[in-house]
Structures are given as structure tokens and as C-alpha cells.
């Protein structure tokens, strides 16, 4: 069986171009938001609300794609909506408008994510899930390295001029959307008509899911509660007095490590098991967050971003591959969507909490607490979650 099909490669390219667009903006977002009046707390709230919006829509549209048998429609609509939201953020430099535009951007992600992951799962066999999701994450993250590099080049010539960057980011986004029109739904899907479901109907999946799915998702969601937005890693560099170029450069470095490691770690996951690979990723996370509480030099921070790239490569794609191996084939969108929904709610809670601790206790507090609690999460996965490949 061919491991990487045309559909898998196309979806990987779509994600790569979309992430070039998104990640041109992500590392400059803290500076842009501060320039229009956002405090650190409100940055955390903005990111949390945006992710929560994406989350609940992932569950709803994941189940809807299962019931209708249409995956590509949701992929195309989701990427299209996100591409339009990018330039919209720059139209009016007002906090409420930015919040609205950022939420629309994340809604697009919510519409597409579960359907896209279900396609990836359907295009692979259980023994190749790590490789397939690893390749997709590698392409996605390569875009996440190219995007900030382009942003850094732009800011070298136009320092502090963030607005036009939002318009430039629209170009790769449109390329990504265009590629979705080559995709076709797998004919084995059964198309149902006149589907009408409640927005929160996907929550019912919890009752019918297996015990191991529940134990896995509980562990994943507890981890989400200690894993705030990556934007706080960048804010820590800024807090230590490093220039914008160092902040963006460190983010590019992290994404390059992630991109280079994702596919090999995917192969490793298929070889030694997804559970063991995921646990190794959690260990890297623990070292990074505890390290961020002590680091002061750029060399130390780069080492931590290196480990953070390994952590991301060993957890993000691996967790979805793990879930898709547990779920029934015709419920993959719902199973992944259920987790994605509560993952985003957890991100809202953890991001707001991190912002409050940063503001009212100290910037290092959220890192120390997350690092310490993640040790307990490692123990939970070792003792309570059964490996399924």
C-alpha cells in the first residue's frame, strides 16, 4: 500500500501555504496587539476566545462531515474563511474588530480541521498513521518557518509597520485555498441528505466512545490546561529585552526543528508505539517550561526552543493519529472533533490563567506551574492509558 497518496500530499501543501500566511502574522501579533492597546491579559483572552470558537466548531463540523460523508466541502470552506480574515484584521486597528477578525480566522480552522484529519486517517492504514500525520505536520510546520522568515525580512525594511504585513499574508492563503479545488471526496463515503444536527450534538459521542478513548482524551485535556498559547513563549523573550528580530528568529528556529523532526518522529511512533512517543514529547515539554523559568541568555532560549520543536513533533500529529486508531472509521471526524473542541476550551482557560499569573504574580510563574504539573501528566499516561499502536 502506498503510504503517501496524492490526497495526503495535496492536504500537506494546502496546510503549508496556509501556515505561511498565518505564521507571517503570529510572531508579530503580540507587538501589533500591544501597539493598538492590548495588555498581556487581554492578549491571553483574545487568543483563548479565538481558540474556543475554533474548538466548538471543530466538534460540530466534525460530526457533520461524518454524517454527510462530505469532507472536502468543509476543508475548502474553512481554509477560504481563514484566508479572508487575514487582511480583515488590518482594516480597522481597533481591539474589538481585531477580536472579531481573529475569531473568524479561527472559525475557519474549526470548520476544516476535523474533516481534514478524517481524510488523512482514511487515506492511511493503522500501521502508517504516525508517518502520514507526521508528514502533514512537517509540511504545515515548514510553512510556519517560512512565514516568520518572510515577516522578519519585511520588518528589516519596514520596522514597526505591521499593517501591510496582513495584506501580504493574504497571497499564500489564496494559493492554499486554490489547491483545495483539486481535492475530491473518497467515493466510499455515503452521502446523506437533509442532515440537521444541534451545534453541541457531538457531545453525545462521549457516551458511546470506548473506555480507552475516554482515558486518552482525559489525559490530553488535562495537559491542555497546563499548556497555554505559544504566544507566551514569545512574550518571555520580549520580556527579557530581546529585539523583535530575535523573537521572530527563535520562532523560526522552533518551527524548523518541528518541521524537520515531525516525519522521522512519525516513523518512530509507528515503530515504538504512539503512546511511548507521546510520553517522550511530554518529557520535552516539562524540560522546556521549567527551563523557561530560569533561562536568561539567547543560547539557553534557543536550546529550549529546540526541545520545544521536538515536543511538538512528538505530540501534535501523534495524538491525532492515536485518536484515529481508536475511533471507528465512520466516526473519525466526530472523535477528533470532540477532542479538538475541548482542547480549545482548555486553551482558553490556560491562556487566560497564564496571562493573570504573568500580570499579577510574575512572568515566570506560569512556566514553573505548567512544568511541575506536566510531570504528573506523564505519570498518568504511563499508568492509565493503554497503548493502541
Domains of the chain and CATH, by start: 6-185+203-384 (1.20.1250.20)
What's the average model confidence in pLDDT over 356-370? 92
More confident residue, 30 or 347: 347
pLDDT band at 258 (very low <50, low <70, confident <90, very high): very high
Give the 3-state secondary structure of residue 227: coil
What whole-number distance in Å separates Cα of residue 217 and Cα of residue 219? 5
**Per-residue pLDDT reduced to its tens digit, 37-48:** 777 677 667 766
Spatial contact of 81 and 111, defined as CB atoms under 8 Å apart: yes
Spatial contact of 99 and 43, defined as CB atoms under 8 Å apart: no
CA 374 vs. chain centroid, Å, equals 19
Q: Quick one: pLDDT at residue 194?
A: 54
Spatial contact of 278 and 323, defined as CB atoms under 8 Å apart: no
Scanning the chain, the segments in alpha helix (DSSP H) are 6-25, 29-35, 40-68, 72-91, 95-122, 129-157, 163-168, 170-179, 205-208, 211-224, 231-239, 244-272, 274-292, 298-326, 332-360, 365-384
- Asked if residue 55 has pLDDT above 80, the reply is no
| DSSP assignments along 31-81, one per residue | HHHHHTT--HHHHHHHHHHHHHHHHHHHHHHHHHHHHH---HHHHHHHHHH
Q: What is the pTM of this model?
A: 0.80
pLDDT band at 228 (very low <50, low <70, confident <90, very high): confident
Spatial contact of 280 and 382, defined as CB atoms under 8 Å apart: no
Cell numbers for 275, please give them.
Answer: 503512546
Most confident of 48-62, 133-147, 188-202: 133-147
What's the average model confidence in pLDDT over 329-345? 84
Q: Quick one: pLDDT at residue 89?
A: 76
What's the average model confidence in pLDDT over 2-18? 91
| DSSP assignments along 187-225, one per residue | TTSPP-SS----TTGGGGHHHHS-HHHHHHHHHHHHHHT
**Per-residue pLDDT reduced to its tens digit, 293-317:** 899 899 999 999 999 999 999 998 8
Residues 6+ apart with CB under 8 A from 107: 53, 54, 57, 81
Q: What percent of the chain has pLDDT over 70?
A: 94
Helix axes 129-157 and 298-326, enclosed angle (nearest 10): 140
What's the average model confidence in pLDDT over 7-28? 88
What whole-number distance in Å separates Cα of residue 56 and Cα of residue 62? 10
Q: Quick one: pLDDT at residue 126?
A: 82
Cell 483545495, located at residue = 180
**Per-residue pLDDT reduced to its tens digit, 181-213:** 999 887 544 555 556 677 778 888 899 898 899
Q: Quick one: pLDDT at residue 27?
A: 67
Spatial contact of 144 and 255, defined as CB atoms under 8 Å apart: yes
Sign of CA dihedral 26, 27, 32, 35: positive
What whole-number distance in Å separates Cα of residue 249 and Cα of residue 102? 24
Amino acid at each position: 500500500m502506498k503510504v503517501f497518496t496524492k490526497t495526503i500530499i495535496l492536504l500537506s501543501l494546502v496546510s503549508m501555504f496556509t501556515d505561511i500566511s498565518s505564521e507571517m502574522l503570529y510572531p508579530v501579533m503580540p507587538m501589533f496587539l500591544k501597539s493598538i492597546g492590548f495588555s498581556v491579559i487581554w492578549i491571553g483572552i483574545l487568543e483563548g476566545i479565538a481558540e474556543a470558537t475554533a474548538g466548538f466548531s471543530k466538534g460540530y463540523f466534525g460530526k457533520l462531515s461524518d454524517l454527510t460523508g462530505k469532507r472536502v466541502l468543509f476543508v475548502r470552506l474553512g481554509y477560504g474563511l481563514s484566508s479572508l480574515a487575514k487582511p480583515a484584521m488590518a482594516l480597522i486597528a481597533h481591539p474589538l474588530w481585531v477580536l472579531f477578525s481573529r475569531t473568524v480566522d479561527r472559525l475557519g480552522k474549526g470548520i476544516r480541521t476535523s474533516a481534514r484529519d478524517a481524510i488523512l486517517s482514511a487515506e492511511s492504514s493503522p500501521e502508517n498513521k504516525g508517518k502520514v500525520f507526521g508528514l502533514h505536520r512537517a509540511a504545515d510546520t515548514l510553512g510556519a518557518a517560512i512565514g516568520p522568515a518572510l515577516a522578519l525580512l519585511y520588518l528589516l525594511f519596514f520596522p514597526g509597520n505591521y499593517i501591510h504585513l496582513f495584506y501580504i499574508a493574504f497571497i499564500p492563503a489564496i494559493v492554499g485555498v486554490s489547491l483545495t479545488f483539486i481535492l475530491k471526496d473518497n467515493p466510499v463515503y455515503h452521502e446523506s441528505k437533509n442532515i440537521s444536527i444541534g451545534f453541541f450534538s457531538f457531545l453525545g459521542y462521549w457516551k458511546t466512545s470506548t473506555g480507552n478513548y475516554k482515558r486518552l482524551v482525559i489525559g490530553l485535556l488535562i495537559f491542555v490546561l497546563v499548556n497555554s498559547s505559544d504566544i507566551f513563549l514569545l512574550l518571555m523573550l520580549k520580556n527579557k529585552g530581546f529585539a523583535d528580530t530575535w523573537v521572530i528568529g527563535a520562532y523560526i528556529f522552533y518551527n524548523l526543528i518541528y518541521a524537520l523532526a515531525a516525519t522521522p518522529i512519525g516513523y518512530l511512533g509507528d515503530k515504538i508505539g504512539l503512546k511511548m512517543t507521546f510520553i517522550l514529547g511530554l518529557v520535552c515539554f516539562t524540560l522546556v517550561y521549567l527551563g523557561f523559568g530560569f533561562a536568561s541568555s539567547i543560547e539557553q532560549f534557543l536550546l529550549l526552543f529546540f526541545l520545544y520543536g521536538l515536543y511538538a513533533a512528538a505530540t501534535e500529529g501523534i495524538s491525532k493519529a492515536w485518536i484515529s486508531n481508536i475511533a471507528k472509521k465512520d466516526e473519525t471526524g466526530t472523535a477528533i472533533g470532540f477532542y479538538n473542541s475541548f482542547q480549545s476550551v482548555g486553551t482558553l482557560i490556560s491562556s487566560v490563567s497564564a496571562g493573570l499569573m504573568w500580570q499579577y504574580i510574575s512572568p515566570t510563574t506560569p512556566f514553573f506551574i505548567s512544568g511541575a504539573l506536566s510531570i504528573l501528566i506523564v505519570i498518568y499516561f504511563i499508568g492509565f492509558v493503554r497503548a493502541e499502536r
